[in-house]
Structure 1
């Protein structure tokens, strides 16, 4: 029987044995499983980032892929452990704590099942309440990927309305003024990725080579305001200069040429980080 890929995401990091233990549990279920890492560098407890990274990645994996996402500040509480089936026919094993926000909005979820821990829990782990990533999620995800259980074997179905989601600001445009959200960082380089579609930007009359005024606010406190070039690539700016560009997801992004915009201006991500873009008459 063909095995489905198993993809792991956590906020555990790789400095101890936590992720390795999840691998071990999965391989113990079936040594022929193919296991891959999405990331284990989600900022600790940051459910928003976990939700975004799933949405960023899922389209590029074949149908039937099992994703395990463990960013779980509520571990040991009465929050539900679930497996969600998406409209794209992928499965996400996760706490029901907001991790499904971006997937539910952009792709859609067709069914949600609670993990029945009487059946789908690592044997002899019943007294552990703080490592569900290993004892419940890795074990259930591996059993599902290996075909040891089908989706119905996960546990009882619940209504999709019970999915917990985080506030998800949209983007908007009017008379050349664009409002959006700082959704995520291109972490290694410190670029800001917004939720503003390139098409929206173009429809409002912006073109490559234009200068725009960019303002960034957090809880109505202005964190940044400047005139920035809208360019195709970093080659159009000098070292240390800012640039507005289109990222790999066809969204607008803000960067500093060979610098970290996020670090330079202490910009973070989430529903309360907003960006405003307007036309500028400035030209260098």
Structure 2
């Protein structure tokens, strides 16, 4: 009798786990677009039109369409900056695709967080794969999963393949297993300097700029930063490199917010994502010191 109850318990537990997993990964009718197309022409509208043609019940949103042209790294960052705030089951279509029409793979990544990413496998998935985890990767079958009568189009896969596939997934017109063949659980990645402490210094990368204001955002979180023992009000020595060539050497004051110093003064602070950042009160750190972002940029902090 005891063994019977134990068997029933484990059967119930297994069923619950299956239900939880299916709930987490189920599509939710939300489709979110990102591209480097800009909004000067009809490219974004065309992608959304294709999606609505699949299902007028879809809810369409945007991350941004102002990724700098061909900047795969920034596309990768904007996805990981945004996706965690969207519910599980959301489908993202990201099209920054300088290799459009070539042999690079078109894929859909399902992360362990339950989000779907439809994109060329060209480095765009670097950060979401790392931070949200890889549940499964499938290559898009471009014979079956593309807009009707688009076989002779080679330069707008965002419209013909990715928007179409993303819409079918988000609307549940297609299950994930119908995307195409399953691939190994890995994606193309872009190398970058990860945050680390050693020899009395903290090293990190500069993944992105706070574009509107010219602030420089690093990937150094508080846990790593605090190993230096800094307190608010201390001065921090900062060294910034591009491809290992020094671009900036200076000292900034560690503050909570910009108004803690005089206008025009350099500051070090933690941004809204709680990563160490550099700025100028009422000014642009990036513009003043010619510091930008990407996998080739790195930073060192020390006392």
Matched, 1:256 2:277: no
The DSSP-based 3-state class of the residue aligned with 2:217 is: strand
**2:171 is equivalent to residue 146 of structure 1:** yes
2:225 aligned residue: 201
Q: Which residue of 2 aligns with 1:282?
A: none
Find 2:61's aligned residue among 11, 36, 45. Answer: 36
Counterpart secondary structure, 2:173: coil
What are the Cα deviations for residues 207-255 of structure 1, in whole angstroms up to 9, with x where unaligned? 1111111111112322111111000000111111111000111110001
**Distance in 2, Cα, partners of 1:215 & 1:118:** 50
Listed one character per residue, the Cα deviations across residues 19-77 of structure 1 (whole Å, up to 9, x for unaligned) are 01011111111111100000111111111110111111111000000000100000010
* Residue 10 (structure 1) aligned with residue 35 (structure 2): yes
Q: Which residue of 1 aligns with 2:107?
A: 82
Aligned residues of 1:213 and 1:228 also touching (Cα < 8 A): yes
Distance 2:180 2:282 in 1: 49
Say which of 127, 132, 136 aligns to 1:102: 127
Report the Cα distance in structure 1 between the residues aligned to 2:268 and 2:28, rounded to whole angstroms.
43
Query: Is the CA contact 1:3–1:33 (under 8 Å) kept in the aligned structure 2?
Result: no
CA RMSD of aligned residues (A): 1.3
Bigger Rg, structure 1 or 2: 2
Superposed counterparts of 1:47-86, under 5 Å? 47-86=72-111
Secondary structure in structure 1 of the residue aligned to 2:212: coil
Gaps of 5+ in 2: 1-25
Q: CA offsets, 1:175-220, max 9 Å, x none?
A: 5311111111111111111011112212320111111111111123
Q: Is the 8 A contact 1:176 1:205 kept in 2?
A: no
Aligned match of 1:118 = 143
Is the aligned partner of 1:167 residue 2:227?
A: no
Paired with 1:148 and 1:234, the residues of 2 have a C-alpha distance of 49
**Matched position secondary structure for 2:223:** helix
> Unmatched 5+ residue regions in structure 1?
280-284
The whole-number CA distance in structure 2 between the counterparts of 1:255 and 1:238 is 12
User: Does the CA-based 8 Å contact 1:67-1:92 persist in structure 2?
Assistant: yes
Does residue 276 of structure 1 match 2:300?
Answer: yes
Q: CA deviation at 1:153?
A: 1.2
Q: Distance in 2 between matches of 1:59 and 1:168?
A: 21
In 2, the alpha carbon distance for the partners of 1:155 and 1:179 equals: 40
- Report how far residue 147 of structure 1 moved: 0.7
Partner Cα separation in structure 1 for residue 133 and residue 254 of structure 2: 33
**Which portions of structure 1, spanning 4 or more consecutive aligned residues, are displaced by more than 2 angstroms?**
1-4
Instruction: Count residues in correspondence.
Output: 278
- 2:207 is paired with a residue whose SS is strand
Q: Secondary structure at the match of 1:118?
A: coil
Q: Identify the structure with the greater helix proportion.
A: 2
TM-score normalised to the size of structure 1?
0.95
1:160, distance to aligned residue in structure 2 (A):
1.6
* Partner Cα distance (1:168, 1:179) in 2: 11
